[in-house]
Amino acid sequence: MTSVLVDGIGELVTNCPDLPGEAGILAGAALVVDGDRVAWAGPSAAAPGADRRIDVGGRCVVPGFVDSHSHLVFAGDRADEFTARMAGARYDGGGIARTVAATRGASDARLRALLAARIAEMRAQGTGTVEIKSGYGLTVGQEARLLRLAAEVTDETTFLGAHVCPDGVARADYLELVTGPMLDACAPFARWIDVFCEPASPHAFDGDQARAVLSAGRAAGLGLRVHGNQLGPGPGARLAVEFGAASVDHCTYLSPADIDALAGGDTVATLLPGVEFATRSPYPDARALLDAGVRIALATDCNPGTCFTSSMPFVIALAVREMWLTPLEALRAATAGGAAALRRDDVGHLGVGAAARLTVLDAPSYQHLAYRPGVPIARLLDVSG
Ligand code: NIG
Ligand code: FE
């Protein structure tokens, strides 16, 4: 195995308070990667030798971003919906059917190429780990196909057959399909199951329907995630806590009771401020969540309908500007928070033994992630021997 010394790090954010430095941040640092793992991190002056040396010239290094929520396997374009929303149109999930039609009609080769381009975009902006959902197939064969393609690029795959009820299919019949044959066909390619629990949408699922989906997923051995409280108040967040889901995502409309429930459970509240940006919605009250002791994550939700960005730095900047997170809170939510939302302890930090996914910034400090919005300063560092 080849070891690589990454030296000349102006500011190293490890997210590990027990490593040298203040609160997991060390100036004048170095880090050693052995194979695909972090083997050492500390002051540059104390760095051990290695087979190869990379000097990052005083730049800041942070853990690779953990984007714990995306819908990357799709074809087609819905820019017109975005334009209409900027002029005042509301989002209700109706446009999902357009992406389903385009995706069903795309070949494996086409979807694979689109997916590869989106993954490359993410890596070029510093994302080291990504979760990918199905949800634009909505038949047994199509959902299994999307998950098979997603599993080619990530271990974090999520079965979202319960995205919307397809046009022309009776809701009860569709739920039977999702919780039966579709789940059976998809489970081999999925780590997680998710449901769009949104009584405010005529296309999504209510609390009882979401409960049926989560119960079936759990029985099939999948971990649980929930799209909840995006378009209005609803049962999503509380259901997620009741089921011990790893994460409830969106959380745009949370009541004090929802926040109490989240504070009393171990479900991460994943905030997707790119969605509020691109749907002209109010931003979630991130400070209320943090003040209540709720664990939060930040993710892109990259999808053609509500937020077509692959950029975690953009999401961090929004979280700082619009949700009053400090730049450090936002970075932590985009790294360690995302890892918690995926129940992973090997990513989201740069402690010894962590996966060697390092993001380098063309900047002296992590603060520049929000300070220089729209400027491509973050990229995943190639530390292969
Ligand atoms: O997370 N809300 C449900 N699903 C996606 C949007 C899907 C779409 O509109 O294509 C989301 O926002
Ligand atoms: Fe989503």
Are 238 and 363 members of one domain? no
Residue 26's pLDDT is what? Answer: 97
Q: Is residue 52 part of a domain?
A: yes
Are 311 and 364 members of one domain? no
pLDDT tens-digit map of 98-114: 999 999 999 999 999 99
pTM metric for this prediction: 0.98
Are 328 and 200 members of one domain? yes
Residue 134's pLDDT is what? Answer: 98
Q: How far apart are CA 272 and CA 61, in angstroms?
A: 24
Are 259 and 234 members of one domain? yes
Task: Give residue 315's domain range.
Answer: 65-341
Residue 168 CA to ligand 2 center (angstroms) comes to 23
CATH number at residue 179: 3.20.20.140
Residue 103's pLDDT is what? Answer: 98
Q: Is residue 294 part of a domain?
A: yes
pLDDT tens-digit map of 160-209: 999 999 999 999 999 999 999 999 999 999 999 999 999 989 999 999 99
Q: Tell me the best of 72, 163, 194 to mutate to test the pocket of ligand 1, counting ligand atoms within 8 Å of each CB and taking the most.
A: 163
pLDDT tens-digit map of 369-380: 999 999 999 999
Q: CA 365: distance to chain centroid? A: 23
Residue 138 CA to ligand 1 center (angstroms) comes to 14
CA angle 261–263–267, rounded 5-degree value: 80
**pLDDT over threshold 90, residue 144:** yes
**pLDDT over threshold 80, residue 385:** no
Residue 384's pLDDT is what? Answer: 86
Confidence band, pLDDT 50/70/90 cuts, at residue 328:
very high
Q: Tell me the best of 197, 230, 279, 306 to mutate to test the pocket of ligand 1, counting ligand atoms within 8 Å of each CB and taking the most.
A: 306
Q: Tell me the best of 90, 96, 248, 277 to mutate to test the pocket of ligand 1, counting ligand atoms within 8 Å of each CB and taking the most.
A: 96
* DSSP secondary structure of 240-290: HHHTT-SEEEE--S--HHHHHHHHHS--EEEE-HHHHHHHT-PPP-HHHHH
If DSSP codes are grouped into helix, strand and coil, which group holds residue 177? helix
* 93 Cα nearest atom in ligand 1: 9
Are 170 and 34 members of one domain? no
Structure tokens given for 331: 């970075």
Residue 303 CA to ligand 1 center (angstroms) comes to 7
Ligand 1 site residues, Cβ closer than 6 angstroms: 93, 95-96, 99, 196, 227, 230, 275, 301, 303-306
Contact of 15 with 347, CB cutoff 8 Å = no
Are 74 and 53 members of one domain? no
Are 32 and 181 members of one domain? no
* 81 Cα nearest atom in ligand 1: 9
How many separate domains does the chain show?
Answer: 2
Q: Is residue 42 part of a domain?
A: yes
Are 44 and 188 members of one domain? no
Are 326 and 363 members of one domain? no
Neighbours of ion ligand 2 (CB under 5 A): 301
Are 161 and 273 members of one domain? yes
Structure tokens given for 92: 């209700």
Confidence band, pLDDT 50/70/90 cuts, at residue 219:
very high
Residue 328 CA to ligand 1 center (angstroms) comes to 28
Residue with the smallest CA separation from ligand 1 atom 1 is 301
Q: Is residue 18 part of a domain?
A: yes
Are 97 and 189 members of one domain? yes
Point out the least confidently predicted range of 1-5, 17-21, 222-226, 339-343: 17-21
Residue 1's pLDDT is what? Answer: 84
Q: Is residue 385 part of a domain?
A: no
Q: How far apart are CA 244 and CA 238, in angstroms?
A: 10
Domain boundary among 341, 357, 372: 341
Residue with the smallest CA separation from ligand 1 atom 3 is 196
Contact of 134 with 145, CB cutoff 8 Å = no
Q: Is residue 7 part of a domain?
A: yes
CATH number at residue 37: 2.30.40.10
Are 95 and 238 members of one domain? yes
